[in-house]
Amino acid sequence: MSDVTALAGKALELDAADELGKLRERFVLDDTGDSVYLDGNSLGALPAQVPGRVEDVVRRQWGELRIRSWTESGWWTAPERIGDRIAPLVGAAEGQIVVGDSTSVNVFKALVGAVRLAGEGRDEILVDATTFPTDGYIAESAARMTGCTLRPLTPAEVPGALGDRTAAVLLNHVDYRTGRLHDLPALTAAVRAAGAVSVWDLCHSAGALPVGLDRHGVDLAVGCTYKYLNGGPGSPAYLYVRSDLQSRFDSPLPGWNSHAEPFGMRPSYEAGDGAVRGRVGTPDILSMLALEAALDVWDGVSVDAVRAKSLALTDFFLECVEAYVPAGRVESVTPAAHAERGSQVALRADDAGAVMERLITVGVVGDFRAPDVLRFGFTPLYLGFAEVERAARVLADQLAAAAA
């Protein structure tokens, strides 16, 4: 029996046993033809109920109720209400997450707020040197603003660099380029033991694997919602502030929406109570309520089950790649160990950019990260094993064609 026949048969068996397979019908996907969408770690697929919900928001809530919708349709309370929908997906109790603004803006709020929480005598920020670029840019600006020294380090170097001058540590839970999962519990514990404040970027982990914010004592966290949470392009990000820190969280962006009396129009600022302190200005209602509708796909879904399928999908993809692609043609830079792997596989190839272009033209959609990384995201809510097998087979064909 050929490798293709054996692995195609295995894929069918895995799909037949997949308890999450039925969730695919909750999304708008191309089920005709041979397309495979492996870019959910950049932009999640459209949940099927979102268009109808958005039409209601536009036609009825905005078109008919107009200004009344701030109260009658719950617009004003949406940032906290939707934050409470996200909370169980990242292991947080209610009342600690507020939705709004972009990830970059929330990184700024969290990092400057972390330095202020750390207090006097702490004048150093540690930042993940492998971080997504915007986190590094924001960290550099936050350091200048707060008078701190910025030290870029790999996550593995952080424990040895912590000291009594460390104010805040900004880390990514999953490396966006390689898919490496960093040890959030151990790193958070190390930061806490040093008396510093932890800030985690969850963009590539929320909705793909258990995070455990409360359980592991994370101080502050941020994340986007358009990847594994499927909120749509540019959907609002979120900010987590642990409940016992909220009364001391001093946002560097004290907008009117976070005021204790937002409609009092007072000239002096007084922060509101709870997660509302993370708000700034008027929320983006259309995209926020699209996100709220998108989160319905998580009803009745266990994050642990999602994680189990994620690991099974990535294991199977790597097995298929090993079987179909000639040795040495690509190199996986994603860790093989489950404890160190997010929900993506990154393969290094000298001609990765050209290969990804060819893959997309034949319907296998991943993405390219300079200089030489083919990146494939695995979203367990709507991806099946037969698709994974096909993607690996097409990848092998395109690598062969590129080398010919």
Q: What is the pLDDT of residues 196-219, one digit of tens each?
A: 999 999 999 999 999 999 999 999
- Residue 375, pLDDT > 80, answer yes
Query: Which among 277, 375, 390, 393 is annotated as catalytic?
Result: 375
Q: What is the pLDDT of residues 90-147, one digit of tens each?
A: 999 999 999 999 999 999 999 999 999 999 999 999 999 998 999 999 999 999 999 9
Q: What is the pLDDT of residues 295-338, one digit of tens each?
A: 999 999 999 999 999 999 999 999 999 999 999 999 999 999 99
376 is an active site residue: no
201 is an active site residue: yes
pLDDT of 4 reads 85
pLDDT of 32 reads 67
Sign of CA dihedral 78, 83, 84, 85: positive
pLDDT of 209 reads 98
Query: Which among 226, 249, 382, 385 is annotated as catalytic?
Result: 226
Stretch 178-186: mean pLDDT = 98
34 is an active site residue: no
In this structure, the strands spanning 197-201 and 220-223 are parallel
pTM confidence score: 0.97
- Using DSSP, state whether 208 is helix, strand or coil: coil
pLDDT of 402 reads 85
The per-residue pLDDT of the chain, averaged, comes to 97
- Residue 1, pLDDT > 70, answer no
For residue 228 the two structure tokens come to 């594994």
226 is an active site residue: yes
CA distance 172 to 212: 14
Query: Which among 26, 122, 177, 227 is annotated as catalytic?
Result: 227
Closest CA to 224 of 302, 314, 341, 134: 134
pLDDT of 34 reads 82
Q: What is the pLDDT of residues 238-285, one digit of tens each?
A: 999 999 999 999 999 999 999 999 999 999 999 999 999 999 999 999
- Residue 31, pLDDT > 90, answer no
In 10 A of CB 48, how many CB atoms? 16
Query: Which among 18, 201, 284, 367 is annotated as catalytic?
Result: 201
CA distance 360 to 297: 27
CA distance 293 to 61: 15
Contacts of 8 (CB under 8 A, 6+ apart): 386, 389
Query: Which among 27, 37, 108, 132 is annotated as catalytic?
Result: 132
249 is an active site residue: no
